[in-house]
Amino acid sequence: MAERTAEISRKTNETSVSVRVNIDGTGTAKISTGVGFFDHMLDQLSRHSLIDMEIDVKGDLHIDDHHTVEDTGIAIGQAIAKALGDRKGITRYASLDLAMDETMTKAALDISGRPFLVWNVQFSAPKIGTFDTELVREFFQALAQNAGITLHILNHYGANNHHIAETCFKAVARVLRSATEIDPRQAGRIPSTKGMLA
């Protein structure tokens, strides 16, 4: 099987983003975005998806975290799409309910080539520390759009906003792991009656 790796560099007037992924990794992460809570969430994404991620971001944090978070999502999504190539042999679909203490969140994923995000998550406060909770959705919107995936995220319940955010990242990580895995019964076929996933 060919290596499923990719590198993306993206530079705008607002951010400079460099991302490298290895779909068939061990969940090793080297992450620096300048936003501590976001680094912690991306570490969870890498660790639980088993996708190796090297992420380096320089953003306009003197304004706020928005451009840094969104542009990182764009670059990770593009890197995953590039690494998956024509998507031959992948499992394609995955769904999971993930528990963390008092919180439970569901993620469901289709590596479809048709980007779509369904977001049913509410936070009880506008910030986790200094991090804007609304940016969690912005990240997953950018990721889904640029990876070409259909992604549904539903928080069933939870009281702690840190836990709610973290279960979103961990649940998405786990479904990414499952959906990108090679299914030996596919024998190198693209898992679609259309013959393509793009």
pLDDT score at 196: 66
Q: How confident is the model at residue 188 (pLDDT cuts 50, 70, 90)?
A: confident
Query: For a pLDDT cut of 90, what percent of the chain falls above it?
Result: 89
Which tens digit of pLDDT belongs to each residue from 125-142? 999 999 999 999 999 999
Q: How confident is the model at residue 194 (pLDDT cuts 50, 70, 90)?
A: confident
pLDDT score at 187: 74
Dist. CA 99–CA 156, nearest whole Å: 10
Own/partner contacts of 91-95, CB < 8 Å, gap of 24 or more, are 91/178, 91/179, 91/180, 91/181, 91/182, 91/183, 91/191, 92/179, 92/191, 92/192, 92/197, 93/179, 94/174, 94/175, 94/176, 94/177, 94/178, 94/179, 95/175
CA neighbor of 50 nearest in space, from 182, 177, 179, 180: 177
Mean pLDDT value across the chain: 95
Which tens digit of pLDDT belongs to each residue from 52-108? 999 999 999 999 999 999 999 999 999 999 999 989 889 999 999 999 999 999 999
| Residue reference for tokens 């790796």 | 5
Cα dihedral value 138, 145, 9, 53, nearest 10: 80
Dist. CA 50–CA 128, nearest whole Å: 26
Dist. CA 173–CA 152, nearest whole Å: 13
Instruction: Return the DSSP state at 173.
Output: H
Report residue 89: phi and psi, to 5°. Answer: 80, 0
| Residue reference for tokens 């992460």 | 29
pLDDT of 163 > 90? The answer is yes
